[in-house]
């Protein structure tokens, strides 16, 4: 059965800290890995990583895909209270258009 | 704002009833996905349509059905509702079959 596992399930840090969120996957025919941020309601797209793009960066957020280890990390540096959210990892499979989501990491950034 | 719209925002109904959730994808996106999010299950893929045709199916119950219309909006029909169907239902769209998906604000369904 295809699965995506995220760790930790929750994390509490102080503003200015750096955090690393983990995602590991076991899926058939891996195609892409996506990161989303979910605040109050809808997940918002952060990054998509594929075999041809294993590292992405946007401001304080960066992500790396390790295809050997079947995993990815999402780094957030100099965290702010606005980074508090659930971060979701999802994997897309070749030959199928569905995404398999992990259960998410709940990040709380305290002032 | 992702550009994906969903109506209604909230829906409260009774067991055994039938409801219809509506989704309009981002302008130009041909692909529409439906997801269910409950507290214990996380985001679960239900079904995908691409330009009017069903493309992929997840763990969608037989009581649930969907369609995508010529104007590309989509509807998810849930019938014979049970308490366990209470969840957030998201619609997402993408420009291509395998591109990044952009999510709508969701419909919160409460079955009493």
User: Looking at residue B10, what is its pLDDT?
Assistant: 96
Question: What φ, ψ does residue A80 adopt, rounded to 5°?
Answer: -125, 165
CA angle A100, A88, B68 (to 5 degrees): 50
Q: For residues B96 and B26, give the distance between their C-alpha atoms in angstroms, rounded to a whole number.
A: 12
From the CB of residue B90, how many other CB atoms can be counted at a distance below 10 Å?
A: 26
Tens-digit pLDDT profile for residues B54-73: 988 888 999 999 999 999 99
Q: Which of B31, B98, B103 is facing A43, going by the closest CB pair? A: B103
Band of residue A96 on the pLDDT scale cut at 50, 70, 90: low
Q: Is the pLDDT of residue A63 over 80?
A: yes
A87-111 exposure pattern, b = at least 16 Cβ within 10 A, e = fewer: bbbbbbbeebbbbbbbbbbbbebee
A18 CA: distance to closest CA in chain B (Å): 26
A-chain residues near B90 (CB < 8 A):
42-43
Phi, psi of A54 (to 5 degrees): -95, 0
Q: With an 8 Å Cβ cutoff, are B98 and A32 in contact? A: yes
Q: What pLDDT is stored for residue A40 in this prediction?
A: 80
pLDDT band of residue B99 (cuts 50, 70, 90) is: confident
Residue B91 in contact with residue B73, Cβ under 8 Å?
Answer: no
As a whole number, mean pLDDT of residues B78-82 equals: 97
Rounded to the nearest integer, the mean pLDDT of chain B is 93
Cα four-point dihedral sign A81, A82, A84, A88: negative
Residues of B in contact with A45 (CB under 8 A): 2, 100-103
Residue owning tokens 């899926």: A27
Cβ distance B103 to A44 less than 8 Å, yes or no, reads yes
Give the integer Cα–Cα distance in Å for A71 and B88. 28
Facing B42 at nearest CB: one of A34, A44, A103: A103
What pLDDT score does B1 carry?
82
Distance from CA of A3 to the nearest CA of B (A): 12
Query: Does residue B100 surpass a pLDDT of 70?
Result: yes
Q: Is the pLDDT at A93 greater than 90, yes or no?
A: no
Residues in chain A: 111
The pLDDT, as a whole number, for residue B83 is: 95
pLDDT band at A104 (very low <50, low <70, confident <90, very high): very high
Q: Averaged over B87-96, what is the pLDDT?
A: 92
pLDDT digits (tens, 9 = 90+) for B5-43: 999 999 999 999 999 999 999 999 999 999 999 877 789
Q: What is the mean pLDDT of chain A?
A: 92
């Amino acid at each position: 059965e295809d699965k995506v596992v995220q760790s930790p399930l929750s994390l509490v840090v102080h503003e200015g800290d750096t955090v690393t969120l983990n995602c590991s996957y076991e899926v058939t025919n891996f195609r892409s890995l996506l990161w989303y941020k979910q605040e109050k309601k809808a997940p918002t797209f952060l990054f998509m990583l594929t075999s041809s793009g294993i590292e992405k960066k946007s401001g304080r957020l960066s992500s790396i895909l390790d295809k050997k280890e079947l995993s990815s990390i999402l780094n957030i540096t100099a965290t702010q209270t606005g980074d508090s959210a659930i971060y979701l990892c999802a994997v897309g499979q070749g030959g199928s258009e569905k995404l398999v989501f992990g259960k998410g990491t709940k990040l709380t950034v305290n002032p | 704002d992702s550009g994906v719209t969903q109506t209604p925002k909230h829906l409260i109904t009774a067991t055994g009833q039938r409801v219809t959730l509506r989704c309009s994808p981002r302008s130009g996106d041909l692909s529409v996905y439906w997801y269910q999010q409950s507290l214990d299950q996380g985001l679960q893929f239900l079904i995908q349509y691409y330009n009017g045709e069903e493309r992929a199916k997840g763990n969608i119950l037989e009581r649930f059905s969907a369609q995508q219309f010529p104007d590309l909006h989509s509807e998810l029909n849930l019938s014979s509702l049970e308490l366990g169907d209470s969840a957030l239902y998201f619609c997402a769209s993408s420009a291509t079959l395998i591109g990044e998906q952009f999510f709508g604000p969701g419909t919160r369904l409460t079955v009493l």
